[in-house]
Amino acid sequence: MSRAHPDLAPLAFLVGTWRGTGSGRYPTIEPFEYVEEAVFTPGPGKPFIAYRQRTRRAGADEPLHSESGYIRPGGPDGVELIIAQPTGIVEVHTGEIGRDEVCFRSEDVGLSPTAVEVSRVERRISVVGDTMRYRLWMAAVGQPFQVHLEAELTRV
Ligand code: HEM
């Protein structure tokens, strides 16, 4: 973090490479288990953290979801997140930074013409020691807002 912008100090707990496993569910799909690598990298001297993750189906050589974006400090205890997904979905979030925890709520979900319908997303990430846990909720494909993902990753 030595070259990181000072505004990133409250988000320093995210920085690093994290690997672990997660599970997903939604009323319209079969539940699934996945393996994930997530990388949070401070922009050198700039007030953002670059974020990318990729996943595979657990126990199989099958790529699942991947995404990348940026986390930006936004005002006192405020934070912004923008994410692009290869599925044609773009998320724009605002949120709050807590103690070793950050919560994001979507302000906008953008869909390319062929993307599946997603109208609302929330993401909560917490870190205790070298363990990161996150949960993701969404309202999509006509279903009410509910959990899609839960995962636990370890700093490597
Ligand atoms: C760790 C990240 C994620 C993984 C591993 C994952 C995995 C999956 C899997 C395996 C499915 C079942 C159908 C398929 O194979 O495509 C699915 C469906 C879906 N996911 Fe995810 N997903 C992830 C993140 C997201 C995110 C961030 C969003 C939206 C913000 C999202 C939205 C959806 C939607 C809308 C469906 C389709 C539901 C339907 O067609 O009925 N997923 N996901």
Note the pLDDT tens digit of each residue in 88-111.
999 999 999 998 999 999 999 999
146: pLDDT strictly greater than 90: yes
Architecture of domain 6-155: Beta Barrel (2.40)
Q: For the stretch 91-123, what's the b/e string if a residue is b when 16 or more beta carbons lie within 10 angstroms of its beta carbon?
A: bbbbbebeeeebbbebeebeeeeeeeebeebbb
pLDDT, one tens digit per residue, over 44-54 is 999 999 999 99
Cβ–ligand 1 distance for 132 under 6 Å, the answer: no
Residue nearest to ligand 1 atom 30, measured at CA: 121
pLDDT, one tens digit per residue, over 3-36 is 789 999 999 999 999 999 999 999 999 999 999 9
Cβ–ligand 1 distance for 148 under 6 Å, the answer: yes
Instruction: For residue 8, report the distance from its CA to the centre of ligand 1, in Å.
Output: 30
Q: Where are the domains of the chain?
A: 6-155
Instruction: For residue 140, report the distance from its CA to the centre of ligand 1, in Å.
Output: 10
Q: Is 18 strand, coil or helix?
A: strand
The whole-number pLDDT of residue 147 equals: 98
pTM over 0.75: yes
